[in-house]
Amino acid sequence: MHTLDQLNRGELKGVVRLQLAENLTTFPEAIFNLADSLEILDLSNNQLSELPADLSRLKNLRILFCSNNRFSQLPEVLGQCSCLEMIGFKSNQISMVSSASLPTQTRWLILTDNQIESLPDDMGRLTHLQKLALAGNRLTAMPDSIRDCHRLELVRLSANQLTAFPDALLSLPRLAWLAFSGNPFCAARDPHNEFQTVQFGDLALQQVLGQGASGVISLATWQENTFDFSDPVAVKVFKGEVTSDGYPQDELDACLAVGNHPNLVKPLAKVTEPDCSALVMELIPAHYINLGQPPSLVTCTRDTFPAEQRFAIEKIAYIVEQVDQLVAHFCEKKVSHGDLYAHNILINETGHVLFGDFGAASKYDNLSAQQQQGIEQIERRALGFFIDDMLGLCAEEDRQGELYHELAKRSFC
């Protein structure tokens, strides 16, 4: 994080990335003094409502984040920035997105949690688009031209007002991660009465184990263990608001809908109180670690891995076999996970995997047979990307064998 004083004193000359969060109400003119070097500008968490008409003077600007500000429309000046490819305006009050505001070279567009009712009809001209995040808006339909965005790999459409599943998405050749829950065309949430309901007061939360967009996971012990569950347990307390993936209530619904599987974190019970929604799960043994790390600004939609991470091909085949069985299980339950990534997988020293995080999951059993097949094809494409990632971690001496080549036939790259 930088300061406005540093900027005004000229101490930031030559920086490639600038981040300012000081309740700014106007764009600091001193930023233009960095035009020769600045590539990433983060003005999130301010009070901005407009950008200067000459923003294109930042001739090297590739990435612009303006989340948590007061924009009511996506600034049209963005379309004049010749290098701009990543745009993030999450959690503003944007209701208007014009074609002029979207540079042709846009690769990453984040407009989560706004008030957008429609997108430009010519969205299809964004042929470089890979990631499109629109959860938590008021969209009633997607422009048909989206079918021309052939590089699109990740789409988030949950928590909108879509009256029908956008069939144009099914023709996209690289789409692998799709979330669409919480729309009028979706099936109703299930109360899942087959799972026990417990009181939040029955649990005593201990240290935080992890947190994500939809909630916080904590270690917990029972103060009142009515159903003789294991002790201690893990408890995910969901946030109330819409996340980058959708509504927390839909995550809880999807997680319970898929039920039990040897490679899923086992749900034990639910908490459904007016001021608290939570999921009680078996505690994952401490020797399980994350298989991958989330995508970066460079990889956009693809996971990242430590440079030294390597597996024998036999271990990779075992990992893939388990994830393959999980995808089949999801298809059987008619739930699209929507976030099939290595960073959502835990692994132990034997190669056994545990999969979780249903924030982007969507139920689809109410859709037509053709739509269901298309959604399952998207999920299997994510599996293909996952296999490609795993083969990238293969030990060099195993890359010429038959097992490697058999897996390579199933990868998507």
The binding site comprises 236
Half-sphere exposure (Cβ direction) of 214: Cα atoms closer than 13 Å:
23
CA distance 381 to 88: 26
User: Cα(388)–Cα(317) distance, rounded to whole angstroms?
Assistant: 12
> What token pair was written down for 147?
């079918």
Residue 405 and residue 409: Cα distance in Å, rounded?
Answer: 6
Cis peptide before 103 (omega within 30 of 0): no
Give the residues across from 140 on adjacent strands.
none
Binding residues for ATP: 236
Residue pair 74/96 in contact (Cβ under 8 Å)? The answer is: yes
Q: What CA–CA distance (Å, rounded) separates 164 from 185?
A: 5
CB neighbours of residue 16 within 10 Å: 11
Question: What does R_g of the chain's alpha carbons equal in angstroms?
Answer: 23
**What is the C-alpha to C-alpha distance for residues 177 and 158, in angstroms, rounded to an integer?**
12
Q: What gap in Å lies between CA 341 and CA 338, rounded to an integer?
A: 9
Q: How far apart are CA 342 and CA 354, in angstroms?
A: 11
